[in-house]
A and B are shown apart, each in its own frame.
Chain A
Amino acid sequence: MLRYSIRRLLVLIPLMIGLSVVVFLYVHMMPGDPVQAMAGPDTNPELVEKIKHELGLDRPLHVQFLDWASGLLRGDLGITFRTRQPIAPILLNRIPATLELAGGALIVAVLLGLPPGFLAGLKKDTKFDYVFSLVALAGLSTPLFWSGYLLMLVLAVKWGVLPAVGYIPFSENPKLNLTYLIMPAATLGIGMAPYIAKMTRTAVVESMQEPFVDFARAKGLHKKRIIFRYVFRHAILAIVVVLGMDIGFLLGGQIVVEELFNWPGTGRLMVRAVLERDYFMVQATILIYAAVFVFINFLMELIHGGLDPRVRLE
């Protein structure tokens, strides 16, 4: 296990280095002058040059990169163009909200998606399975901003049960914090549930086809026992693995949900940055997202290796 972990870690390091190079170059990939774009197309070119010099953007690229990279290692993510505030604290501030939303959504998604998916896998090719496929497909086709909007309309406006938008840190008021969390987490969770349901179904179907199921039946074990002791465990493995790899949907969906509910997370921050053309902020957020993504994948690989010895031997 240790050797496998070290191997995975060794792959991680050049990946992160490559990633930082790509992200750094991102700002310079745009057609035209980035500083001109940030300052505004009508800005006096002399002023643009002055700003460039101030921010050290007229130095040779490799010098800029080394400066930026060394800053990264110190935890310095640069400053926003608009307000010249350091970015790192701004991002850090938003992480609790983002994690809360992600966590809540995952819980909802697993609770909603796992049971039907499991049943559908067991009852493959029956009416239940058929209806399940149609409903799951409909769920996948639903735009997040629509389901969220619908929830808002019904729960907040029509029935007045929950507040439409708002946020308060957990440390200040846990009960209120959770009340605000319900709708966004439910929206994102409902959006993810069809994926989880489908994956679960596939995992169960595959598990049922394994030879050990036939052996258990031949042994004369009671059907329910087979399902819960063997099939479930085997399927869970596949589900956990694929769950980690579906972080993509979570990341993308979170952006939309944060926008809709004015949830102060990192997704919203990135959208603002892109719309305001604050490339430093965009750069920093892309880097953080990419790093988190790679790291989570790394963790998933470790878990996968831990659970399935066959993977460690690759």
Chain B
Amino acid sequence: MKLIRRLRTNALAFIGALAVLGVLLMAMAAPVIAPHDPLEAETSDRFLPPGNSKYLLGTDFLGRDVLSRIIFGSRISLLIAGLSVGAAIVLGVTSGVIAGFFGGWVDTVIMRISDVIFAIPTLMTALGVVGLLGRSMNAVVVALAVSYSPLFARVCRSAVVSIREMGFVEASRAIGASRARILAKDIIPNILPLIMVQATTSLSWAILAEASLGFLGMSVEPPTPSWGTMLTTGREYFYSGPTVPLFAGLMTLIAVYAFNLLGDGLRDLLDPRAWEQLN
């Protein structure tokens, strides 16, 4: 039974990893694999339905190739997701580790702040930040980074609190290791698997959030292709070109699902083992 479970979770992680790799490759190789320029508007070819030889997925309201726009759209989504989760990791892990390691009022203050941010839904935080900073890629990255930091802070803090009490940390303290050394050698290496798992899951939500913000009109400005904005502009031409948003949304679904699969698989693979090793 246990073996089957191991294989299953391995398979999940494997499929997830493949899918994620696929999306990443697509984004990186966009200029090479996209059949057309995503910004090139052929007004004579507007609203072509999918399935023709020149434009595989059809064209949008300006005559731009949908497939190319989707491929290039992955760049924006992944870039924004990557930047915001990266920033969230920096901010969240630092505060979480500090809170867990030093405890006391530092811990309380950091955790209270992170609880407040955590309580507010991501979309609301994003609306607030975009409202302040205006509609731009920076605003979205800041908004998502702020939203996701508390997650990392919490996860790291609890991990640090548990690890702090463990035998090998006490041993390091006994031989006179400095705080910095304990942090670097004992604590950080052991929270890395947790961070990895959380990062993958957060990436999936970040992609979804960016698409939703794009849909609301709060992400990058046109004509830059983004999966969410493709859906909004597609809505206006609901009757003439209904397929554009369908493909954009489908692509979002695939990308998010890929990262989620990977995250779930990683969590099943890494977490219990990490703790077993420590114990």
Chain A residues in the interface with B (C-beta under 8 A): 26, 29-31, 125, 130, 133, 137-138, 140-146, 149-150, 152-153, 157, 164, 248-249, 251-253, 255-256, 259-260, 270-271, 273-275, 277, 279, 282, 286, 289-290, 293, 297
Contact = CB atoms under 8 A, between A and B. Distances in A.
A259 B249 CA distance: 16
Nearest to B258: A141
B122 A252 contact: yes
B147 to A, nearest CB: 10
Nearest to A28: B132
B32 interface: no
A259 B216 contact: yes
Interface string B169-208: 0000000000000000000000000000000000010001
B218 interface: yes
Interface of A is mostly: helix
A198 to B, nearest CB: 11
A273 B216 CA distance: 12
Q: Which 7 A-B pairs have the closest CB atoms?
A: A146-B249, A252-B123, A252-B121, A141-B256, A248-B121, A141-B257, A30-B132
A144 B127 contact: no
Contacts of A144: 212
Given A143-B252, A146-B249, A251-B124, A137 B261 contact: yes
B46 interface: no
Interface stretch (B20-28, B153-161, B239-247): B239-247
Interface in B250-267: 250, 252-253, 256-257, 260-261, 264
A143 B208 CA distance: 7
B249 A149 contact: yes
Contacts of B238: 152, 157, 164
B164 to A, nearest CB: 24
A120 to B, nearest CB: 15
B36 interface: no
Interface in B112-138: 119-124, 127-128, 130-133, 135
B256 to A, nearest CB: 4
A141 B216 contact: no
A274 B130 contact: yes
Interface of B: 1, 5, 8, 119-124, 127-128, 130-133, 135, 204, 208, 211-212, 215-218, 228, 231, 235, 238-239, 242, 245-246, 248-250, 252-253, 256-257, 260-261, 264
Nearest to B243: A153
6 contacts: A138-B253, A143-B211, A153-B246, A248-B121, A251-B121, A274-B218
Contacts of B8: 130
Given A143-B215, A251-B123, A252-B122, 12 more contacts: A30-B132, A137-B260, A141-B253, A141-B260, A157-B242, A248-B121, A248-B122, A255-B123, A274-B127, A274-B218, A282-B128, A286-B124
B119 A277 contact: no
A291 to B, nearest CB: 12
Contacts of A256: 123, 212, 215-216
Nearest to B131: A274
B208 A141 contact: yes
Contacts of B212: 143-145, 252, 256
Name, among A143, A271, A274, A286, the residue most crowded by chain B CB atoms within 10 Å (CB to CB).
A143
Nearest to A283: B131
Contacts of A289: 124
Nearest to A253: B123
A289 to B, nearest CB: 7
A255 B127 CA distance: 10
A123 to B, nearest CB: 14
B250 A279 contact: no
A149 B246 contact: yes
Nearest to A275: B217
Nearest to A153: B242
A289 B211 CA distance: 23
Given A138-B257, A279-B131, A293 B119 contact: yes
A275 B264 CA distance: 36
B237 to A, nearest CB: 13
A31 B133 contact: yes
B257 A157 contact: no
Contact of B249 (A133, A143, A248): A143
Given A26-B132, A259-B215, A141 B119 contact: no
A146 B234 CA distance: 11
B6 to A, nearest CB: 12
B132 A145 contact: no
Contacts of B248: 146
Given A26-B132, A274-B130, A146 B231 contact: yes
Contacts of B135: 275
A279 B133 CA distance: 12
Nearest to B208: A143
Contact of A145 (B119, B124, B133, B249): B249
A94 B235 CA distance: 24
A251 B245 CA distance: 23
